[in-house]
């Protein structure tokens, strides 16, 4: 900001001085022209009167002319000696003035010059601006204008006319003073304004950097106030969006870790109780011991499944999951999954109805899609009471393969529907504990479908049943 002010100061100084010089030059030029023609006319008038001896007739005429012009008139002889002075002060004296000597030497016929005359008047009121003017207030500026007196082609003397130009200098000085005042006021206003503007600009930046600092410390709850529509406001908005996302991410990560730990802890605790019974009860019935060991084995299987699901999700999250696409008929994958799940359905006396209306040949990852179908059909079987019915249909709809898995099971309450794709989300915690679910299946399913550029949707009515619809683009 100092640099900015310095540039303004220098440019103002340059402009102001050249303006004053221009005005001053034109004023002085005009003065010189006017006074030179006056003195030339007077020289023509006085030459015949001047006899070289200071005649009264010439002196009277000189006094009269002095009164009329308001200046001082002197006549000098060719030796440079004053012969007549309307102020009767320099009579008989020699004046060493350049304006006179150039005429005496015959270099010119008219000349002029400006001089600062030391005055003897009263000292006037002091103004601090005098410090800048460089002039003592008692002295005044005067202009000397000279012209040759010529009689019959012969140079007989010099007429010197002195008139004060102090008024002119004064008006220039006051003009300069006004410019100085204006400049000081302007500079003050500019400084104040730039202070205000810089404060106005830097305040939101300060708030932003404070927010970023807080974020760097691991606190994602900071938000910046958004005002207006400027680029800075957009930046603040983007920052808020980013911190909101990070906060959500941070929360869901924490939740994920705590849920995962919980899921792993439960089977471990169960296994510990079973194992301790086996270890410390020496007289345990061998059948019961076997049963306990089988339970432990089941818990290990469950742990394995949970860890497998967790690893899959970590894989998806870190974008490491790659699809191994190949040309495959989706219908075949559906049949394969149904074959694998048929014993489970049979155990529960459930009927699985399969309707494949189109093979839906597509470029996709067969193993991952089988995982998708397996999860959904397994859910349908799990959450449908014994003797229920599951219907699986596959058909083409334009560029999409549409797979519907419908059951007439317990259904999902409306309030739970938006959450079922969330990790670890289970509608009925107690019920699913028996069926062994962890609540990760649907979230993995959704990720795989999305990776294929597809979409998964659910419709359900509690007590009546649930229908999952998967749309996959056939490439
Ligand atoms: N067909 C369905 N009928 C009723 N509820 C369902 C159905 N499918 C899913 N749900 C509900 O949605 C929840 C989440 O399903 P998800 O498959 O993600 O988890 P899970 O089956 O409990 O466990 P996992 O699949 O990880 O073994 C289930 O716990 C269940 O409450
Ligand atoms: Mg499931």
CA torsion sign for 202, 203, 204, 206 is positive
Q: How far is the CA of 383 from the centre of ligand 2 (A)?
A: 9
List the beta bridge partners of residue 117.
140
Look at residues 317, 301, 475 and name the one whose alpha carbon lies nearest to residue 399: 475
Tokens matching residue 307: 């860890």
Q: What are the pLDDT digits (tens) for 177-220?
A: 888 898 889 889 988 998 898 888 888 888 888 989 998 998 88
454, 472 Cβ separation under 8 angstroms: yes
Q: Is residue 224 part of a domain?
A: no
pLDDT at 262: 85
- More confident site: 53 or 1: 1
Is pLDDT of 459 > 80? yes
Alpha-carbon span 411 to 434, nearest angstrom: 17
Q: Is the pTM of this model over 0.75?
A: no
Q: Which of 303, 383, 408, 419 to mutate to test the pocket of ligand 1 (most atoms within 8 A of CB)?
A: 383
Q: How far is the CA of 61 from the CAs of 163, 302, 334, 411, 458, in angstroms?
A: 18, 135, 134, 131, 123
Is residue 425 within 6 Å of ligand 1 at its C-beta?
yes
SS3 321: coil
Give the residue from 317, 342, 361 where a domain finishes: 317
Which numbered atom of ligand 1 lies nearest the CA of 405?
A: 1
What pLDDT is attached to residue 137? 63
Mutate which of 310, 312, 422, 437 to test ligand 1's pocket (most atoms within 8 Å of Cβ)? 437
CB 381 less than 6 A from any atom of ligand 1: no
Q: What is the pLDDT of residues 211-222, one digit of tens each?
A: 899 989 988 888
- List the structure tokens of 317: 């999250």
**Does residue 418 belong to any structural domain of this protein?**
yes
Structure tokens of 325?
A: 């696409």
Q: Does an H or E element contain 159, and which?
A: strand 154-164
439 CA: nearest ligand 1 atom:
19
Q: Which two tokens stand for residue 22?
A: 């221009």
Inside any domain, residue 221:
no
Question: What's the CA gap between 251 and 446, in Å, rounded?
Answer: 21
Round to whole Å and give the CA distance between 65 and 62: 5
| Residues 407, 385: Cα–Cα separation, whole Å | 10
Read off the pLDDT of residues 410-440 as tens digits, 9 standing for 90 and up: 999 999 999 999 988 888 876 555 566 788 9
**Residue 441: CB within 6 Å of ligand 1?**
yes
Residue 311 shares a structural domain with residue 330: no
Q: How many domains, in total, are found in the chain?
A: 3
Query: Are residues 411 and 346 part of one domain?
Result: yes
What's the domain range around 467? 326-473
Closest Cα to atom 4, ligand 1: which residue?
Answer: 411
213 within a domain of the structure (yes/no): no
102 found inside a domain? yes
Task: Flag whether 124 is in a domain.
Answer: no
Claim to verify: residue 61 and residue 12 sit in the same structural domain: yes
Least confident of 69-78, 166-175, 286-295: 166-175
Do residues 307 and 334 share a domain?
no
Residue pair 164/144 in contact (Cβ under 8 Å)? The answer is no
Instruction: Report the nearest-CA residue for atom 1 of ligand 1.
Output: 380
Q: Hey, is 20 helix, strand or coil? A: helix
Question: pLDDT digit string (tens) for 80-136?
Answer: 899 889 888 888 898 888 889 898 888 888 899 888 877 644 434 444 444 455 556
The helix/strand/coil state of 149 is strand
- Of 298, 317, 336, the last residue of a domain is 317
Which residues neighbour ligand 2 (ion) by CB within 5 Å? 379, 441
Rounded to the nearest angstrom, the distance between the alpha carbon of 435 and the centre of ligand 2 is: 9
Cα angle 423, 417, 467; round to 5: 105
Tell me if 155 sits within 8 A of 149, measured CB to CB. Answer: yes
Instruction: Note whether residue 215 is domain-resident.
Output: no
Best substitution site from 310, 441, 445 to test ligand 1's pocket, by max atoms within 8 Å of Cβ? Answer: 441
Instruction: Tell me, yes or no, whether 295 and 336 share the same domain.
Output: no
Between 2-46 and 166-216, two packed helices, what is the crossing angle to 10 degrees? 170
Does 330 share its domain with 458?
yes
Does one domain contain both 312 and 334? no
Burial per residue of 66-79, b for 16 or more beta-carbon CB atoms within 10 angstroms, e otherwise:
beebebbbbbbbee
- Are both 12 and 106 inside the same structural domain? yes
Return the percentage of the chain with pLDDT > 90, whole number: 43
What average pLDDT score do residues 289-301 get? 93
Residues 180 and 61 both lie in one domain: yes
**What CATH number does the domain containing 388 carry?**
3.30.565.10
Residues 392 and 439 in one domain: yes
User: What is the pLDDT, as a whole number, of residue 360?
Assistant: 95
Q: Is 374 in the pocket of ligand 1 (CB under 6 A)?
A: no
Burial class (CB in 10 A: 0-12, 13-18, 19+), 284: middle
d(CA 111, CA 234): 73
Report the CATH number that the domain containing residue 68 is assigned in CATH: 3.30.450.20
**Same domain for 50 and 170:** yes
Q: 437: Cβ below 6 Å to ligand 1?
A: yes
Ligand closest in space to the Cα of 438:
1
Q: Is the CB of 420 under 6 A from ligand 1?
A: yes
Task: Kindly give the number of the ligand 1 atom that is closest to the alpha carbon of 305.
Answer: 27
pLDDT reading at 292 higher than 70: yes
Give the closest ligand to the alpha carbon of residue 310.
Answer: 1
The answer on 379 and 453 residing in a single domain is yes
User: CATH number for the domain including 258?
Assistant: 1.10.287.130
End position of a domain, from candidates 190, 205, 224: 190
Q: Do the domain assignments include residue 218?
A: no
């Amino acid at each position: 900001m100092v640099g900015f002010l310095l540039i303004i100061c220098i440019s103002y100084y340059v402009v102001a001085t050249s303006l004053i010089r221009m005005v001053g030059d034109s004023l002085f030029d005009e003065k010189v022209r006017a006074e030179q023609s006056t003195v030339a006319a007077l020289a023509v008038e006085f030459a015949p009167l001047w006899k070289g001896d200071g005649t009264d007739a010439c002196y009277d005429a000189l006094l009269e002319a002095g009164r009329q012009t308001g200046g001082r008139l002197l006549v000098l002889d060719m030796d440079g000696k004053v012969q007549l002075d309307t102020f009767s002060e320099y009579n008989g004296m020699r004046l060493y003035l350049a304006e006179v000597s150039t005429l005496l030497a015959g270099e010119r016929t008219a000349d002029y010059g400006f001089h600062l005359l030391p005055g003897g008047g009263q000292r006037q009121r002091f103004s601090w601006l005098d410090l800048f003017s460089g002039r003592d207030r008692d002295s005044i500026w005067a202009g000397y204008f000279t012209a040759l007196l010529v009689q019959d082609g012969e140079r007989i003397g010099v007429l010197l006319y002195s008139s004060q130009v102090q008024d002119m200098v004064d008006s220039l000085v006051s003009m300069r003073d006004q410019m100085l005042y204006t400049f000081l006021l302007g500079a003050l206003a500019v400084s104040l304004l730039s202070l205000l503007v810089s404060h106005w600009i830097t305040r939101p930046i300060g708030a932003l950097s404070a927010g970023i600092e807080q974020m760097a410390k691991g606190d994602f709850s900071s938000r910046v106030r958004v005002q207006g529509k400027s680029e800075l406001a957009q930046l603040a908005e983007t920052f808020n969006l980013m911190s909101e996302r990070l906060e959500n991410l941070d929360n869901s990560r924490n939740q994920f870790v705590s849920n995962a730990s919980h899921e792993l802890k439960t089977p471990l605790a169960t296994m510990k109780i079973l194992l301790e019974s086996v270890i410390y009860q020496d007289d345990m019935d061998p059948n019961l011991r076997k049963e306990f060991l089988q339970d432990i084995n089941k818990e290990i299987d469950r742990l394995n499944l949970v860890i497998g699901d967790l690893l899959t999700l970590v894989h998806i999250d870190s974008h490491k999951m790659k699809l191994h696409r190949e040309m495959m008929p989706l219908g075949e994958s559906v049949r394969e999954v149904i074959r694998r799940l048929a014993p489970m359905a049979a155990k529960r006396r459930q009927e699985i109805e399969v309707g494949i209306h189109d093979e839906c040949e597509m470029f996709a990852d067969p193993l991952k899609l089988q995982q998708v179908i397996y999860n959904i059909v397994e859910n349908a079987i799990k959450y449908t009471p014994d003797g229920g019915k599951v219907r699986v249909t596959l058909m083409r709809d334009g560029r999409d393969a549409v797979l519907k898995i419908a059951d007439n099971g317990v259904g999902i309450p409306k309030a739970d529907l938006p959450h079922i794709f969330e990790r670890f989300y289970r509608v009925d915690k107690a019920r699913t504990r028996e069926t062994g679910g962890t609540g990760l299946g649907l979230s993995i399913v959704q990720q795989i479908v999305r990776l294929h550029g597809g979409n998964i949707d659910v419709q359900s009515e509690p007590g009546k049943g649930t229908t999952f619809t998967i749309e996959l683009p056939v490439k």
